[in-house]
Amino acid sequence: MNEVLLEAMNRTENNGTKGKVRPVWLGKQMFRWFGLDGTDPAHVHTALETCRMTLVAKAGSVREGASHGNSLARAWRPIFRPVQNRKQFTTDERKGASVFVVSSGTCDGGPAAWWLPRLFRSGDNTVALAGFCSAGTVGGQLLALAQAGPGERRRLTGEVAWPDGTMAPMADIGADVVALSGYSAHADQAGLLDWIFNSDPVCAMRKPRR
């Protein structure tokens, strides 16, 4: 995932007729957060370097403060810690609150299938699902429980079932379950136009017939 984001960071586009060129994903909101000027090349460089550091540096590593921007930009530190072997990483290693970002869409397989049974039993945790999950998937089963409080779940007799045979009693799910409606697994406007007109060499896909 980090490699994909870093590759995206190097893509540029010309925005309109004013001749502005910046990475396609680098929005105005980021510049507001960091107190940077999106029209100043030095400030754009600071924003890019801050994002690169966030994605690739090890947590706790020392970084010289940003040369531009507000106190948030100057005090920014790595916040991601890639987990190479999730089976050797236990929740006991964490100090304070943490956010686990895992892929696998509807939670049927991949990292989510390993993490969920270990995290959704605790009422201190929240399972936040981004994107659509059909009813028969693990994500869909969890979303069906989103409106049921822990007390109501304790009376349930069903189980959440994974394709590999793993089972978890619904009564044991103490975590909050929420749907993040502001995200999607599909391409945004620019990506869809690239696909339709086949103008992006990365999208080596056949043009749609209609």
Give the pLDDT of residue 1: 43
Amino acid in the structure at residue 192: L
Give the pLDDT of residue 2: 46
Give the pLDDT of residue 6: 47
**Token duo for residue 54:** 């966030």
| DSSP-derived secondary structure letter, 172 | G
Report the C-alpha gap between 68 and 87 in whole angstroms.
Answer: 40
Average of per-residue pLDDT across 141-162: 87
- Let me know: does 84 contact 105? Beta carbons within 8 Å: no
CA 192 to chain centre: 20
Give residue 35's pLDDT band: very low, low, confident or very high (50, 70, 90): very high
Which residues, in sequence order, are bridge partners of residue 167? 161
Average of per-residue pLDDT across 158-168: 88
Report the C-alpha gap between 47 and 30 in whole angstroms.
Answer: 8
Q: Give residue-wise pLDDT tens across range 39-95.
A: 888 998 888 888 877 776 665 565 666 888 998 888 887 777 777 777 666 655 566
Domain range annotation of the chain:
2-81, 86-180
Q: What is the SS3 string spanning 62-111?
A: CCCCCCCCCHHHHCCCCCCCCCCCHHHCCHHHCCCCCCCCCCCCCCCCHH
Report the C-alpha gap between 89 and 60 in whole angstroms.
Answer: 17
pTM, two decimal places: 0.58
Give the pLDDT of residue 5: 45
- What does the radius of gyration of the chain's CA atoms come to, in whole angstroms? 21
Give me the half-sphere count of Cα atoms (radius 13 Å) on the Cβ side of residue 36: 28
CA angle 36–39–40, rounded 5-degree value:
65
CATH fold group of domain 86-180: Rossmann fold (3.40.50)
